[in-house]
Each structure stands twice: as C-alpha cells, then as structure tokens.
Amino acid sequence: MGMRDYLVKRGASALATLALAIVLNFFLFRIMPGDPTRTVVGDFRVTPEVRQVLIHQFGLDQPLWVQFILYLQNLFMGNLGVSFQYRGTPVVSIIFGRRLLNTFILMGSSMGLALIIGITIGTIAAWKRESKFDISTVIFSLVTYSMPVFWLGMLIILVFGYYLGSIPIAGTMTVGLTYSNVFEYAADYLHHMTGPLVTLTLSFVGFYFLIMRDSILDVFTEDYMLTAKAKGLSDRKILFRHAMRNATLPMVSLLAVEVTYLIGGATMTETVFSWYGIGRLIYEAVVMADYPILQGIFVVMSVAVITANFCADVVYAFLDPRIRY
C-alpha cells in the first residue's frame, strides 16, 4: 500500500469515527439523569404558560428525532446552539473564548513538561538500569501515575496552598488586583497556574517515563546496537543517535491517545483548583444538565482527538516507512 492509499484510508476512517461521535454526542446526553427544563426556567416562580413558552423557545418540547435533525442542521452551519444556564448565550462564544485559551495553555504546558521530563529521565534510567537512580525513579513514577488526579490536586492544595501558602488555592487571577503592565498580569496568571500545572505534569510524567524507559531497554537488545558498540562508537552517540531515535517512535502514537486522558485529567484538575477553563465548564454543564454546552464541548473534543490521531498516523508513517496498514 502506497502513502497516498494509506492517507486516504486513514482519512476515511477518521471521518467515519467523527460521524459516529457526532451521533453518539446527541443521544448520550439525552439519557443523562436530570431535568434540563429546570435549568431553563430556573428557580423563578413562573406560571405554567410562561414555563411552556421558555421550553418551546429552546426546542425542548420537540420530539427527539426532530431535535436530532435540528442538531445536525445547526452543527453543519457552525451553530452549536444556545446555553440553558447562561440564558440563551451562544455556545460558540462560551467555548471559543477565555475558557478555551486557559485550558489550552494549561494542557499544552503540562503535556510539554511531562513529555520532556519523562523522555529525559526515562532515557537516563534505562542507560543506568538497576542502579539506585533507576529504581528510585521507577518507584516515583509508579506512585505518581497511580494517584487519582483529583486526590493529587487536593494534596498539593493542602500542603503548598494551605500550610505553606506558596501557591493560590483557587482561581485564575487575583480578584480585585489591578495590573500596571503585562508582566504583572502574566506573573499573577502563572502563579495561579502553578498548582494545576504541577498536578497534571506529575500525573502524566510517570507514564511517559515508563514508556520511554521500556522502549530504550527494548532497543538495547537489537542487533544494530551491538553493531554500533562493535564499531567503537561512544556511549553518547549510541544513546542519542541510535537508541533514542528509535525508542521515540512509540511515543508518537501514544501522544495522540494521551490527549483524551489529558482532557479528562484537566476536567478534574480545573474543578479542584477552580481554574476558569473548559474542564470546569464541563463539570458545571453536567450539574446543570446544559445539553448544548456539553454537546458543543464534546464535538470540539472529538474533532481534536480524531485530528490528533490522524496526524500521529501520518507522522508515524513518515518516521517508519514500514507502517502501511
């Protein structure tokens, strides 16, 4: 199978997966417990007539198949609907705003740090296998990777936020604080991001470390590594030119898969730290049974995850020409 046929096949698979995700996205939230009409009407004492008018405006009195057709029509027009809890505010303006930027910065920073630290330490631990450094880093990685994200976040808040007072325990910015320049704004923003950033980084660095360490150890058993040693190459060249180059191939495909878990971790982390992002918005929408926001977020997430997997398949095919399936 040539590269062109491979790309067409993977692209068709990605589109089919996206179509299935769009269908499931609609029906999944319709079977959730909770009454969305309460969110629409709120706690106000209104007459049954006014209540019915509000429900009709949001289309909640329509049959399920009619709601599904309207959902598809609006989706293909780029309209994700209007929010129940935000009283008719377009979902697009809620998602593609400050919240998405905050989540993107948090997820990108934590994933980048976890990847750099995990690959570096994993390579060193594999090179010095069965040493004290190797054993201690393996134990540390297993402990952090097995910890629930929310529990690790609460532990960081308790120690560094409550007892030591070195990091803020909640929020994205300091309420009521005025900034004279952009540097003060950035410093306060990064100070508030320290807690959730450390939480997500520790949660995922162990995974990258273990995968990289095992990949390096597998590469060490290959014949070309013995050939490199027989040629008299230095340890540095063997490690970085041959071992790391081939051991990083599995990381490419794993990065796309980890995007899904990172989004789940960000949801719990943002809720624990009250970080103003998409993760906390998901939690609020679930509590309030806000179907349009949940549908909009999961459509965006589905596109992001499917695109990431498709890009990983393409990059992997270029890195390893043997991959054609």
Q: Is the pLDDT of residue 285 over 80?
A: yes
Least confident interval from 163-167, 177-181, 196-200, 274-278: 177-181
89-138 pLDDT per residue, tens = 888 888 888 888 898 899 889 988 998 999 889 888 888 888 899 999 99
What's the pLDDT score for residue 87? 72
201 falls in which pLDDT band (50, 70, 90)?
very high
232 shares a domain with 110: yes
117 shares a domain with 220: yes
Amino acid at 253: S
- Mean residue pLDDT of the chain comes to 81
What's the pLDDT score for residue 194? 92
**In this structure, is residue 296 part of a structural domain?**
no
Of 54, 73, 95, which residue is a domain's last? Answer: 95
Structural domain that includes position 75: 3-95
150 shares a domain with 83: no
Region 51-61 average pLDDT = 67
Residue 198: C-alpha distances to residues 90, 99, 127 (Å): 33, 19, 27
**In this structure, is residue 325 part of a structural domain?**
no
119 shares a domain with 50: no
**In this structure, is residue 12 part of a structural domain?**
yes
**In this structure, is residue 318 part of a structural domain?**
no
Q: Is the pLDDT of residue 294 over 80?
A: yes
What's the pLDDT score for residue 323? 62
CATH number of the domain encompassing residue 235:
1.10.3720.10
* Count of domains observed in the chain: 2
Higher pLDDT: 202 or 263? It is 202
69 shares a domain with 134: no
154 shares a domain with 23: no
What's the pLDDT score for residue 199? 92
71 shares a domain with 175: no
**In this structure, is residue 310 part of a structural domain?**
no
Q: Which residue has the tokens 């780029």?
A: 78
**In this structure, is residue 293 part of a structural domain?**
no
Of 35, 64, 95, which residue is a domain's last? Answer: 95
Least confident interval from 9-13, 59-63, 124-128, 182-186: 59-63
170 shares a domain with 49: no
Closest by alpha carbon to 269, among 196, 198, 201, 189? 196
What's the pLDDT score for residue 130? 84
Q: Is the pLDDT of residue 302 over 70?
A: yes
Q: ∠ CA 212-312-241 to the nearest 5 degrees?
A: 45
Note the helical H segments in the chain: 3-30, 36-41, 48-57, 64-76, 91-95, 98-127, 132-146, 149-156, 182-220, 223-230, 235-237, 244-247, 249-273, 278-288, 291-319
User: 260-267: long-range contacts at Cβ-Cβ below 8 A with a sequence spacing of 24 or more?
Assistant: 260/305, 261/204, 262/107, 262/110, 262/111, 262/200, 262/204, 263/107, 263/301, 263/305, 265/149, 265/200, 265/203, 265/204, 266/103, 266/106, 266/107, 266/200
**In this structure, is residue 207 part of a structural domain?**
yes
222-258 pLDDT per residue, tens = 777 777 777 777 777 777 777 777 777 777 767 767 7
120 shares a domain with 57: no
Of 95, 129, 162, which residue is a domain's last? Answer: 95
196 close to 269: Cβ distance less than 8 angstroms: yes
Q: How many residues does the chain have?
A: 325
**In this structure, is residue 321 part of a structural domain?**
no
